[in-house]
Amino acid sequence: MKHQELPSILPLYAAGGTILLPRAQLPIMLQGREEKALLACALSDEHRLIGVIQANPEGGNFHKGCVGRIINFQDGPQIYLTLGGLCRFTIEEILKEKTITKARVCYQGYEGDLENVMPDPFVNRPRLLTLLKDYLEDQDIMANWEEIDHASDDLILNSLSMACPFKPIEKQALLEISSLSERCDMMIALMEMAAPQMNGASYMFH
């Protein structure tokens, strides 16, 4: 999809501690009437897009998020779907409807999200993977290191940003940060600060 083809109005999905990043995948479970109406709205559009924003623990929602395309879904009493991240956005106006919330959004500043990712020579991958290995060992979590070693910097950093149990404000900063190396530096700093207090935390790398 080209940047110019992205819609200016999106149905919104908001949840605490949940972010979506470009080129990453986010599994979601929908169960309430409003959430199911959100899916129906997205499926009625040929692009099958949903804007994902993070709930702000201080009230309301953060105003920057990422639009994702529905890759697959499984219907039933509870609906399971997977979104593939496309491009970040800024909310310009909230549009309340009877059953769902929509927003008028702007993609300015995030046009590069839809382009091929160029390698960033300033990503400190060795330090990041060392911290990740220590963390997973501390949590007694098995990891497919062959798969991780062959994954791109972009995939590793985006997956970690979404999956690690950081505070909402920290996750939001990881979403909004501009370059891959800056995201890596922030991830390293957050993991170093969190290391002593991670005991008992749950984590899934995918």
pLDDT band at residue 139 using 50, 70 and 90 as cut-offs? low
Residue predicted with more confidence, 204 or 64: 64
Architecture of domain 125-197: Up-down Bundle (1.20)
Cα–Cα distance, 53 to 50 (Å, whole number): 10
pLDDT at 198 over 50: no
- Specify the pLDDT at position 199: 46
Residues 6+ apart with CB under 8 A from 190: 164, 166, 170, 174
In the chain, residues under CATH classification 2.30.130.40 are: 3-114
Mean pLDDT score, 13-35: 91
Give the residue carrying structure tokens 């997956």. Answer: 159
The string of pLDDT tens digits covering residues 80-119 is 999 999 999 999 999 988 889 999 999 999 999 998 888 8
pLDDT band at residue 196 using 50, 70 and 90 as cut-offs? low
The string of pLDDT tens digits covering residues 40-70 is 999 998 889 999 999 999 999 999 999 999 9
Alpha-carbon radius of gyration of the chain = 17
C-beta pairs of 178-182 under 8 Å, 24+ apart in sequence: 179/120, 179/122, 180/117, 180/120, 180/123, 180/153, 180/154, 181/120, 181/121, 181/122, 181/123, 181/124
In the chain, residues under CATH classification 1.20.58 are: 125-197
As assigned by CATH, the class of the 3-114 domain is: mainly beta
